[in-house]
Amino acid sequence: LLINCHEAHLEIEVRDEERKADAISKIRTVDGVNGIVDFRGKEIVVLMYYEDHDSLARKVRQIESICGSQRLALWRGHSLVLTCR
């Protein structure tokens, strides 16, 4: 049971495609991550729960650090927050 948690989906690319499996393995250990969709190429979508904006920001920064790139898009609940490159 998750109380006072919100759902987010983070779309991101792994900078070095050869490290993708290792990056996914590390992302799975991030608190709140409950799934990863692995697309062909460098792109993945990380499904996660977060408590508040600060916890979401920390998780996104941690995953960006693991992937070596910045997010492509972030969906929170029913809203879409786009990051343009």
Considering only CA atoms, which of 51, 74, 42 is closest in space to residue 61? 74
Higher pLDDT, 84 or 65: 65
> Is the Cβ–Cβ distance between 34 and 49 less than 8 Å?
yes
Q: 0.75 cut: is pTM over it?
A: yes
What integer is the mean pLDDT of 2-14? Answer: 88
pLDDT digits (tens, 9 = 90+) for 23-61: 999 999 999 999 999 999 999 999 999 989 999 999 999
Query: Could you give the CA distance from residue 75 to residue 22 in angstroms, rounded to a whole number?
Result: 24
